[in-house]
Structure 1
Amino acid sequence: MNMKKSGYEISEQDIEKTLNYLRKTVDENATRDDAIAYLQEHQSMAHIVAHEIVEDEELAEKRTKLSENTTLD
C-alpha cells in the first residue's frame, strides 16, 4: 500500500517498521492504522519544517542583499 503525499510514498516496509516501533515504545496493542497515522503525522511535520527552512534561507538571502546595498557613512 502506497500513499503519496509531498513526493513521499509510505511503503509496506515503513508501516511494518513503524508498527514494531510503536508496539515497543508506545502501545503494545498498536495497530496498522496507528502506524499509518503516525507516519502521516510525521510526514506533515517534516513538510512544515522544510517550508520553514526555505523561508529562513530566503530571509537570510534578502538580509545579505540588503546589507550589501547599505553602506555606512
Structure 2
Amino acid sequence: DTEVITATEVTPGNSGDAEVAEDLLTDILPSEAEAEAEAEAEAEAEAEAEAEAEAEAEAEAEAEAEAEAEAEA
C-alpha cells in the first residue's frame, strides 16, 4: 500500500486543535452571512407563529364570549 499526500498545512506547535479544526470545517460550516440570514429567518418564522397563536387565542376568546352571551340571553 502507498499513500500520496496532496495537501499539507503547517500550524504553530502551540495552537492546539482549535485553529486547525476551524480550517477543516470551513467547507462544512455556513459562512457568517449565511448563519445570520438563517437565524433571522428562524426569528421571523417564530414571530409569525407567535402572532398566529395569539390571533387564534383571541378568536377562541371571542367565540367563548359570544357563546356565553347567547347562553345568558
Larger Rg: 2
Name the TM-score class by shorter chain: 0.5 to 0.7
The answer for unaligned runs of 5 or more in structure 1 is: 1-22
Structure 2 CA distance, aligned partners of 1:54 and 1:45? 14
TM-score by length of 2: 0.57
For 2:65, the equivalent position in structure 1 comes to 65
Q: How many residues align?
A: 46
Structure 1 CA distance, aligned partners of 2:42 and 2:33? 14
Question: More relative contact order in 1 or in 2 (CA 8 Å, sep 6+)?
Answer: 1
For 1:50, the equivalent position in structure 2 comes to 50
TM-score by length of 1: 0.57
Structure 2 CA distance, aligned partners of 1:47 and 1:28? 29
Which structure has the highest helix share of the two? Answer: 1
Percent same amino acid among aligned pairs? 13
What RMSD over aligned residues (CA atoms) do the two structures have, in Å? 1.7
The answer for unaligned runs of 5 or more in structure 2 is: 1-24
Extract structure 1 runs of 4+ deviating beyond 4 A: none
The alpha carbon displacement at 1:63 in A equals 0.4
Partner SS, residue 70 of structure 1: helix
The alpha carbon displacement at 1:70 in A equals 1.1
